Structure 1
């Protein structure tokens, strides 16, 4: 790997992104207009120490997942992303793997929904990026790694989410998750990470294995969800999942009916969350 050039490229692209363009507060004294290392680390979901070592050419062989996360956080174009992979000595992921690149159009959409909880998942329900209102609503995701960032894993093996489910709703929701994962596995049969995820789920969740073997089918539709928030209480919101044609990215959007108590609580928790991030 061309370590020095990789580090220079990351630093150069980091310097060109103002924090407000990445949905971060721009307060405080700054020596440069771009992102700080700790801000890039937060956006990419990696440690500040690792970002420092990468930029200084002291870290070797970053994984495909790390390079992909940096490309998203740095808002690289398709050409720039391919160049970063080449500098890391890696081949850019091909069409046989689950897409994880955020197109400029998707990124602009996120930029315009600054007051709305929005998260982007890939076809296997792995979280790629969540904006500050989504983090305020659903909790901090910056410390999640590997399978922890996957929504199917979180619901079958992990701690679940703040969304309230009745037993009947829960069963239907689980069936839809498994069906989505089955569709992704059929579309991207060569994706090794996806195959490992399915194997891990089968090994750790009898319920997942049962649904997987039964051939459970279903698909996500617009629905209303109640989120039990630790600071503002229960918030009932409309949840829409938009699929990006050509990349299978899933954009999850939570909105409240204007003028309702739920809208007031959503606005309050968004402010509280932003203040926490700024602090």
Structure 2
């Protein structure tokens, strides 16, 4: 049975469905296969705690290497509320919306995984470290969605208006996030330039033959 069918069976039997714990950090094979086909647009796989599990080269050129972090800092939600540099990729007037989106998605993961999970540990840490998080947490907003349009800032190519598509695993534990731009737009030209810059940076880091 699927997870939804299992939960339905429990409910019609008069029982509470077992708690789902969508916090696996091993990349789902089906998402990895799609990611491997995406060379010309930024793409990355995220956990339900906004942990970057894997990203392609263009996503690294756009965001930097987000897989390098460890412990709580692996979560983009944690970094958003504790590291001011995390917000530099978004325009200032987008910060409030992004903060709410992060908290709403964390509340969903917390509700599914429980207080003793990694989500619970993340919530406890952020309630101690961020006044903004504490205020937003009290709103009890819940969501599992991504904006279908984002404006992102890059230090070398500037602002880019990008479309955003999200492909989720069945249990919603992981998301393949794909960023793209319509053909023949300024954003598409900037992504093409970023792809060249990314290849040059990769080559400069590679050892000489």
**TM-score category (smaller protein):** 0.7 to 0.9
Q: CA deviation at 1:212?
A: 0.9
Q: Deviations over 1:41-70 (max 9, x none)?
A: xxxxxxxxxxxxxxxxxxxxxxxxxxxxxx
TM alignment of 1:32-181, pairs within 5 A: 96=21, 98-158=23-83, 159-167=85-93, 169-181=94-106
Checking the alignment, whether the CA contact within 8 Å between 1:97 and 1:191 is kept in structure 2 is: no
Unaligned runs of 5+ in 2: 1-19, 205-209
Q: For residues 199-226 of structure 1, what are the alpha-carbon distances to aligned partners after superposition, in whole Å with 9 as ceiling and x for unaligned?
A: 1111110110111122134442443222
Deviation at 1:248, TM superposition (A): 1.8
Deviation (angstroms), 1:253: 1.0
SS in 1 for 2:199: helix
> What do residues 154-198 of structure 1 show as CA deviations (whole Å, max 9, x unaligned)?
21111224432343x322221121111111111111653222111
| Residues 141, 96 of structure 1: alpha-carbon distance in 2 compared, 3 angstrom cutoff | closer
Task: Please state whether the residue corresponding to 2:86 is helix, strand or coil.
Answer: coil
Identify the residue that residue 30 of structure 1 maps to in structure 2. Answer: none
Aligned equivalent of 1:183: 108
How much has 1:153 moved relative to structure 2?
1.1
Tell me, yes or no, if structure 1 residue 232 matches structure 2 residue 157.
Answer: yes
Distance 1:254 1:96, change over 3 A: closer
Contact kept? 1:97, 1:190, Cα under 8 Å:
no
For 2:154 and 2:72, locate their aligned partners in 1 and report how far apart those are by CA, in whole Å.
24
TM-score with structure 2 setting the length:
0.79
Q: 2:186 aligns with which of 242, 261, 271?
A: 261
CA distance in 1, matches of 2:185, 2:110: 41
How many Å separate the matches in 1 of 2:145 and 2:134? 20
Say which of 118, 140, 147 aligns to 1:193: 118
- Higher RCO, Cα 8 Å, sep 6+: 2
Counterpart Cα distance in 1 of 2:200 and 2:173: 33
Task: Give 4+ residue runs of structure 1 displaced > 6 Å after superposition.
Answer: none
Alignment partners' CA distance in 2, 1:223 and 1:236: 11
* CA deviation profile, 1:127-156 (whole Å, cap 9, x unmatched): 111111001011233532222221111211
Superposed CA RMSD: 2.0
Q: How many aligned residue pairs are there?
A: 184
* Gap regions ≥5 residues in structure 1: 1-94
